[in-house]
Structure 1
Amino acid sequence: MKRRTAISLALLPGLLPLARAHHGWSSFDQERPLYLQGRVHSVRWQNPHAELVLELQSPLTLPPDLAQRALPAQTAPVDGKALLARAQLPRRKDPRWEIELAPLTRMQAWNVTPLKVGDAMGVLGFAFQEEKGAAILRAEYLFVGARIYGLRSSPA
């Protein structure tokens, strides 16, 4: 028993950064969808989910057609039209935001081509409650060129 505990404790320091880096949905304000648009500054296409840093365009504005965009069907019950209609710009003025995308298996199911530094994109998602802490957005919808991807679940 002591030997197993020692082995488990030895692995703990390596696992702590992974546990701290991965967030559940409960810490994000799902009542206030935010829209960001800009260019990819850096990308990490890895599990537990793909991530990127988005350098925001200036000035940041809501696209006039955002609420009318046709959204793809997905297996999760997401009221995408309501999210688009309620979309807001963030209150905080950080020039860069970390964007948490979906797990790689879901990105592959949507046929999302791995993004590259310099790619232009938009994203609708959720920040931490009251936008406190790091400038992190958990993506609900990803807008790349003419394509829109629903990231909560797989395509329907």
Structure 2
Amino acid sequence: MRIATAAAFLALAIPAVAYAHHGWSSYDASRPMVVTGPVVSSTYGNPHGSLEIRHEGALWSVVLAPPSRMTARGLSADMIAEGREVTVEGYPRKDGTPEIRAERITAEGKTIELR
């Protein structure tokens, strides 16, 4: 009985976890774009970093790479700290939400590939 209960729980939990983390299919790779502006807030944590930047009067959410990849490629948390100016190249969400999946970022004059 316990095995059946555990199996049922896993069958329900795994899709929920997968759904909670957005997939890349929600971004439009046919419409690359560039946003530039000051960082309003940033996180440098797992499963990936994120930013909010002010671009042309709108607040844009930016999905970055995992911290281990950013560190390995030379992007430190300090480079994307609040108040820093950054340029992000990537793909916008298909549903029009002001969010971009970053492919590369330029901070402190250095361009870092994230994917």
- Normalising to structure 1: TM-score of the pair? 0.61
1:144 corresponds in structure 2 to 107
Distance 2:42 2:107 in 1: 15
Equivalent residues in 2 for 1:1-156, closer than 5 Å: 1-5=3-7, 8=10, 12=13, 16=16, 19-20=19-20, 22-57=21-56, 95-114=58-77, 115-129=80-94, 132-152=95-115
> In the TM superposition, what is the alpha-carbon distance from 1:27 to its structure 2 partner?
2.2
CA 1:54–1:18 in 2, change beyond 3 Å: closer, same or farther? farther
Q: 1:26: how far off?
A: 2.2
* Structure possessing the higher relative contact order (Cα contacts under 8 Å, 6 or more residues apart): 1
Residue aligned with 1:26, SS: helix
Which deviates the most, 23-32 or 108-117?
A: 23-32
Deviation at 1:126, TM superposition (A): 0.1
- Residue identity in the other structure for 2:22: H
Q: Which amino acid aligns with 2:92?
A: A
SS in 2 for 1:39: strand
* Deviation, structure 1 residue 136: 1.1
* Structure 1 residue identity aligned to 2:40: H
Q: 1:151–1:17: structure 2 CA closer, same or farther, 3 Å change rule?
A: same
TM-score, with structure 2 as normaliser: 0.80
1-structure distance, mates of 2:9, 2:98: 36
Q: CA deviation at 1:110?
A: 0.7
Kindly provide the CA deviation profile for residues 48-75 of structure 1, in whole angstroms up to 9, marking residues without a partner as x: 11011111155xxxxxxxxxxxxxxxxx
- Identity among equivalent positions (%) equals 31
Cα deviation code 1:61-101 (max 9, x no counterpart) = xxxxxxxxxxxxxxxxxxxxxxxxxxxxxxxxxx1011000
Structure 2 residues not aligned, in runs of 5+: none
RMSD of equivalent CA atoms: 2.4
Q: Which runs of 5+ in 1 are unaligned?
A: 59-94
**Conserved? CA contact 1:39–1:57, under 8 Å:** no
